Amino acid sequence: MSKNEIFIERNSPSDDEFFIHKIYINNGEFVKKDILLAEVEGAKAIFEIYSENEGYFFTKHKVGDYIDMETPFAVISDDENYDESVNNQELTDKESIDLKLNLSKPAMKYIETTGIDIETLATKLKDIELITVEDIKKLLKSSDSRFEIEISEQNIKKWKHELSIQEDREPLFIIGGGYGAYQVLDLIIKSEQYFVKGYFDDGEETKLDLLGIQKYGNTELKTINEALKPESIKNVTVAISNNPKLRAKFIDLFDNDINIVTLIHPSAVIGQNTLVGDGSIIFANVHIGPDSEIGKMSFISSNSTIEHHNKIGVAFCCGPSFSTSGIVEIGNLVRTGINVGIEPFVKIGDEVVLASGTIITKNVENFEIIKSNKEI
């Protein structure tokens, strides 16, 4: 018996894994040489996979799977009964997953990772047959709705000076290198406990590069774990403010002897018997009342008030001046804008989004998006 393993080759320098978008051949089906087998998507493009010889096609993978370069995508064998462990699911429609706005899976992952509001781009993307990560990046680059705030040379020098005098403290790595990282940097400096040794980010260039902070890699858990293996003290903080799902992803780092530190601004007031979950970040002038609970990996922006007997779930992210009355329950992975208020005896479900300026007076079900007071 002979077999030919088919590997997916890197199509661009940023290709670390591939998304299987379409598979055109069923397991056990005989194919000739140079037959189209599948379409996969890398970081920047969709490309086709062809058979290199004739034989019977077998794969353990299915549409929607991710696969890396070291794992064979399929096998072409001269034995029609080659492998009993293959995925035997029939590919009846041989179509990709039905994605809103024809978004590819990597594009969906990119949107989730970056916190992009895809609705604002929908009209410009709707006519694209399959929207890739590169399509979104190009549109964002050309969009008039996004702009850059230049950080002055004088401020960069001040930041560098502040960071240089912290080196006798415990090392700390930042996950996320955008503007929000500066907000976290300020908190780290005020903590007088840590110095920033490096950071992780998926972008090629970030705002932290201006400060000369070393980049250790992307934000994949595998990358972070490998980079921190040589470190005797493994402290990290997550400087991502508007993406609860992404913040929650890093909870898994707790299982690898990595300490996701909790940062609390000196001006914040934490009530009696209140628990703040590991990895949370609490900014200036936040007040949290007694007998409350804040879930792991939460991000509480400045001037927010969470009153007594509140229970808040994992990876809660709120904008500045968020407020609740007493006796409020908020589920996991909830995100709010600025100036959001919640009345007493209200329960907010999981993965809810509350737009800026909304006042919530009654319960909100899981996965709801509240854009205005008229909706509640």
Range of the domain at 340: 263-375
User: Is 225 among the domain residues?
Assistant: yes
**Token output for 196:** 């920033």
Residues 361 and 277 in one domain: yes
For residues 314-333, average pLDDT: 97
Q: What is the pLDDT of residue 160?
A: 93
Boundary residue ending a domain (142, 168, 194): 142
What percent of the chain is predicted at pLDDT more than 90? 49
Of 180 and 372, which is predicted with more confidence? Answer: 180
Q: What is the pLDDT of residue 14?
A: 65
Q: What is the pLDDT of residue 212?
A: 94
Residues 367 and 284 in one domain: yes
> How does residue 95 score in pLDDT terms, banded at 50, 70 and 90?
very low
Choice among 39-53, 97-111, 175-189, 353-367 with the minimum mean pLDDT: 97-111
Residues 251 and 292 in one domain: no
* Terminal CA-CA length for the chain: 66
Dihedral of alpha carbons 276, 169, 223, 45, sign: positive
Query: Whole-angstrom Cα distance, residue 301 to residue 284?
Result: 8
Query: Whole-angstrom Cα distance, residue 180 to residue 217?
Result: 18
Residues 161 and 255 in one domain: yes
Q: What is the DSSP string of 152-167?
A: PHHHHHHHHHHHHTTT
Residues 370 and 307 in one domain: yes
Residues 312 and 362 in one domain: yes
Q: Which residues of 60-74 are buried (b: 16+ CB within 10 A; e: fewer)?
A: bbebebbbeeeeebb
User: Is 92 among the domain residues?
Assistant: no
User: Is 39 among the domain residues?
Assistant: yes
pLDDT digits (tens, 9 = 90+) for 231-271: 998 999 999 988 898 899 999 887 778 999 999 999 999 99
Residues 297 and 203 in one domain: no
pLDDT digits (tens, 9 = 90+) for 17-48: 788 878 988 888 888 888 889 888 876 667 78
Q: What is the pLDDT of residue 62?
A: 87
Number of domains in the chain: 4
Q: Is 289 helix (H, G, I), strand (E, B) or coil?
A: coil
User: Is 195 among the domain residues?
Assistant: yes
Of 276 and 33, which is predicted with more confidence? Answer: 276
pLDDT digits (tens, 9 = 90+) for 202-224: 888 888 999 999 999 999 899 99
Neighbours of 147 (CB within 10 A): 6
Neighbours of 295 (CB within 10 A): 25
Q: What is the pLDDT of residue 63?
A: 84
User: Is 88 among the domain residues?
Assistant: no
User: Is 83 among the domain residues?
Assistant: no
Paired sense of beta strands 66-68 and 17-23, if any:
antiparallel
Residues 293 and 238 in one domain: no
User: Is 87 among the domain residues?
Assistant: no
pLDDT digits (tens, 9 = 90+) for 145-165: 446 778 899 999 999 999 888
> How does residue 12 score in pLDDT terms, banded at 50, 70 and 90?
low
User: Is 90 among the domain residues?
Assistant: no
Residues 291 and 351 in one domain: yes
Instruction: Assign residue 48 the CATH number of its domain.
Output: 2.40.50.100
Residues 275 and 371 in one domain: yes
Instruction: Assign residue 268 the CATH number of its domain.
Output: 2.160.10.10
pLDDT of 321 over the 50 cut = yes
> How does residue 367 score in pLDDT terms, banded at 50, 70 and 90?
confident
Residues 342 and 287 in one domain: yes
Residues 272 and 364 in one domain: yes
Boundary residue ending a domain (259, 282, 311): 259
Q: Where are the beta strands (DSSP E) in 8-129?
A: 17-23, 30-31, 36-41, 46-50, 55-58, 66-68, 74-77
* Cα→Cα distances 185→91, 180, 238, Å: 50, 9, 11
Q: Give the contacts of 191 (CB within 8 A, at least 6 positions apart).
A: 263
Instruction: Assign residue 176 the CATH number of its domain.
Output: 3.40.50.20
